Amino acid sequence: MDPYLQAKERIAPLIFRACAQLGYLAAEKEIISKLEDAKEEFGDFASPVAFDLAKSARKAPRKIAEEVAAQIEEDPLVSKVEVAGAGYINFHLNSGEYAKLVIGAIDSAKGKYGSGERKSEKILVEFPAVNPNKPWHIGHMRNAILGDSVARILEFYGFKVEREDLINDLGLQVAQSVWGFINLGGTPSGKLDHWLGQEYVEVAKKIEDPKVAEEVRTILKGMERGTGDIAKSARELAEKCVKAQYETAFKLNIFHDVLIWESDIVKSGLYGAALEKAEATGEVIREETGKNAGCIVAKLEKIEEFKGMESPDKVLVRSDGTATYTGKDLAFQMWKFGIILPKFKYRVFMKQPNGHEAYTTSADGAEMVFGKADRVINVIGSEQAYPQKVLKAIFKLMGKEKEAANSIHLSYEHAALPEGAFSGRAGTWVGYTADEVIEATSKEAMNQIRERFKDMGEAEKMKIANSVAIGAIRFDFLRTTPEKKIIFKWEEALKFEGDTAPYVQYSHARASRIIEKAGGLPKGVDYGAITDASEKRLIKWLALFPRTVELSAREYRPHLIAEYLLDLSNSFSKFYQNCPVLQAEDARTKAARLKLVSCYKEVLKNGLLLLGIEAPERM
C-alpha cells in the first residue's frame, strides 16, 4: 500500500468534481499526475489545474483557482484549502487522518512496507566479475556493493532476481598466476587471494622474458583446451581464489545465486551456437576481403547511432578463429536472455552466511534453470560504455529489439582512497585492498564505540563496531550517484553526526530504546492526538517510502534510498527534540507518539536492509 498515492487519489477527485460543477473541462488522470508536493509552509499538496484551464476559459489562473477552491467538497483527510500565488490550489491535510492512513498502511504490510506486488518478470544482475587471481580492491568493492544493493531493491519491489558472477578463469592474468604458482616455488600463506595477488606482481616483473612469456602462452592454451592436468590445476586454483574473494563479499553482506565460469562456457559450445544464430540473421557475416578478411563481423552501419562512423563494423571472431571480447559478451548475453540454451550443469559451490547456497557451473552436477531472464543488468565500469552500446546495437541488428531495450548497462565511475588509484600489475594495491579498508574502518569504529558506549560488554561492542563499519562503507559508496567518482575516507564515513550510516543506525537504536523503556506498544491509538508540526513532518516522510523504493527500482539508483533515509532520520531527530514521548503530556499523546516511533523504526530498518546495512537495536 502506498499512502502517499492514496492521499493523491483522495484529493484529485475533489478537484475534478469541483471543476466539473463549474463547467471547466479537466481530466482526472491529468489532475492527479500534476498534483505536486507543496512547500511545508503552504500545505501538503498543490494543484496547478487553474493554469491549465486559464487559456480555454480566458480567465486569470488566480480567479479560476479561487472559484475551484470554493467549490471543493469536504473530506476528512483535508483540513484546509486555500489559493496561493498566481493560482495554485493548496491542500492542507488533517494530520490525524493522514497518520491513520500512513500507519494503517505500515501495519497492514506486516514488516514489508514499501515492497511491491510480486511480478512475473525475472531480472538478472551480473556483478562484480573479478579475475580469480587477486584480492578485491576498492573499485571491485564499489561494483559489488552497487550490484548487490540494486538486486536487493529490485527484489523488494517484487521482481524475481538472479545474482550472477562471471568468473573469467581463462584470461591471461590467470595463466600468469598459474605459471607463478608452478615456478616461483612459494607456499601459499594467509588469505589465498592476497597471496596470489602478490605472486602476480612478481610474475609481472618476469613476463618480459621471452621464455617466461612462451611458457605462460603454453599454460593458457592448456587451460583453453579444458582437459589435462594444467586445466584441472588452473580451475582448482581459481576456485580457491574465488572462495577467498567471497570471504570479503560476506563481510560486506554480499551474496550470489550462481557463478558462471568461462571455461565451462567454452566447453558448452555456447560461443559457436551464438555465432551460428547471429549469422543466420544475415546481419553478422564472414568478411571475404579487406582488412577484416576471414573475420566474422557485425555490420552496424544500419543502426542509426553508428551511421557515418569511419569504421562502424565490429569484429566478433578474428581470422584465426578466436572470439573477441565483444563476441564473447554477445554469446553470454544471449544465454542470459535464453536465446541460446547450452546445457550447463551445476553443483553447490558453497553455503553462504545468509543461509543460501551459491551454485556454480561444473563438469558434473545437475541441470538447473539459471539465466532465461526478461531483463539483464550488467554492472560494469563507465569505461565499458561503448562495448555495452555495441552489444545493444547487435541485438537490434538481429531483430531482438526487446532484448536490446532490456540490456541495461549500470555504469559507475572509479572509486579510490586518498592515496589514489591502484594497479594490479604494479602491486600498488598492496596494503589497500578491500579487506584492509574493512579492517581499518572496523578498527576505527571499535575505537569510537569504546569511547562512546563504555557500559557495553566487549563482545557487544565488537558486534556493533562491525555493523557500524560495514554500514559506513556501504552507505558512503551508495549515497553517491554511480556517475560520480568516490574518494573513500573512513574517518568521514564513520561520523555519528552528518550524512553517514552511523547517524542513521544510531537513530534506529534510539527508537528501539524508546520502545524498550516504554515497556512495549499501546493497543489502541487516537490519531487525533497527532497535531505537532514535527509529528506531521515525520508522517509525511514515512508516507514517501513506497514511492522512493519504486523510483529507485525503476532507475537502478540506490542513492535515492540513502538520501531518503537521511531525510527520514532528520525528521525523526526534530520529532525527538520537539515531541517528548515517554514524558508526553498525557497518555493519549504518549500512545500516539509511541506508535509513530514504532513505525519509524520499521521503515528505517527496511530502508537500511535495501542498502545491505544492519539496523542495530542498541548503540
Q: Which helix (H) or strand (E) holds 591?
A: helix 587-610
Q: Report the distance separating Cα 279 and Cα 285, nearest Å.
A: 6
168: which DSSP letter? Answer: -
pLDDT band at 490 (very low <50, low <70, confident <90, very high): confident
Place of cell 531482438: 400
Q: Which domain holds residue 78?
A: 3-93
Q: What is the CATH number of the domain that holds 480?
A: 1.10.730.10
pLDDT at site 72: 97
Q: Report the distance separating Cα 158 and Cα 164, nearest Å.
A: 18
pLDDT band at 47 (very low <50, low <70, confident <90, very high): very high
Q: Which helix (H) or strand (E) holds 37?
A: strand 36-37
Per the structure, the count of domains in the chain is 2
The verdict on residue 112 lying in a domain is: no
pLDDT band at 224 (very low <50, low <70, confident <90, very high): confident
pLDDT at site 491: 84
The verdict on residue 359 lying in a domain is: no
316: which DSSP letter? Answer: E
Q: Report the distance separating Cα 95 and Cα 536, nearest Å.
A: 6
Whole-model pTM: value is 0.93
Q: Is the pLDDT at 422 greater than 70, yes or no?
A: no
Q: What is the CATH number of the domain that holds 51?
A: 3.30.1360.70
pLDDT band at 523 (very low <50, low <70, confident <90, very high): confident
The verdict on residue 545 lying in a domain is: yes
Domain boundary among the residues 63, 93, 123 is at 93
pLDDT band at 522 (very low <50, low <70, confident <90, very high): confident
Q: Report the distance separating Cα 460 and Cα 437, nearest Å.
A: 22
User: Quick one: average pLDDT of 399-417?
Assistant: 94
Q: Report the distance separating Cα 28 and Cα 44, nearest Å.
A: 19
377: β partners: 125, 408
pLDDT at site 343: 83
Domain boundary among the residues 93, 120, 136 is at 93
**Got the DSSP string for 420-489?**
B---TTTTTTTT-BHHHHHHHHHHHHHHHHHHH-TTS-HHHHHHHHHHHHHHHHHHHHHSS-TTS-EE--
Which set of grid coordinates corresponds to residue 148? 548487490
pLDDT at site 226: 84
C-alpha closest to that of 539 among 190, 199, 93: 93
Q: Is the pLDDT at 118 greater than 70, yes or no?
A: yes
The verdict on residue 159 lying in a domain is: no
pLDDT band at 31 (very low <50, low <70, confident <90, very high): very high
3-state SS assignment for residue 381: strand
Which set of grid coordinates corresponds to residue 80? 484546509
User: Quick one: average pLDDT of 564-576?
Assistant: 98
> How high is the mean pLDDT of the chain?
93
Beta strands at 486-487 and 415-416: parallel, antiparallel or unpaired: parallel
User: Quick one: average pLDDT of 442-449?
Assistant: 91
CB 332 within 8 A of CB 168: no
Q: What is the pLDDT of residues 335-368, one digit of tens each?
A: 999 999 888 999 999 999 999 999 999 989 999 9
The verdict on residue 64 lying in a domain is: yes
Domain boundary among the residues 93, 109, 131 is at 93
CB atoms closer than 10 angstroms to residue 195: 19
Written as one letter, the residue type at 524 is G
pLDDT at site 428: 59
385 Cβ contact list (under 8 Å, min separation 6)? 409, 411
The verdict on residue 223 lying in a domain is: no
CB 602 within 8 A of CB 541: no
pLDDT at site 322: 83
C-alpha closest to that of 407 among 393, 428, 397: 393
**Got the DSSP string for 240-273?**
HHHHHHHHHHHHTT---SEEEEHHHHHHHTHHHH
Q: What is the pLDDT of residues 472-483, one digit of tens each?
A: 999 999 999 999
The verdict on residue 340 lying in a domain is: no
C-alpha closest to that of 477 among 442, 432, 438: 438
Written as one letter, the residue type at 391 is L
Q: Is the pLDDT at 419 greater than 80, yes or no?
A: no
3-state SS assignment for residue 336: helix
pLDDT at site 209: 93
User: Quick one: average pLDDT of 521-538?
Assistant: 93
Stated length of the chain: 619
pLDDT band at 84 (very low <50, low <70, confident <90, very high): very high
Place of cell 537513530: 507
The verdict on residue 356 lying in a domain is: no
C-alpha closest to that of 486 among 74, 46, 123, 146: 146
Q: Is the pLDDT at 425 greater than 80, yes or no?
A: no
User: Quick one: average pLDDT of 69-85?
Assistant: 97
**Got the DSSP string for 498-555?**
SSSHHHHHHHHHHHHHHHHHHTS--S---GGG---HHHHHHHHHHHTHHHHHHHHHHH
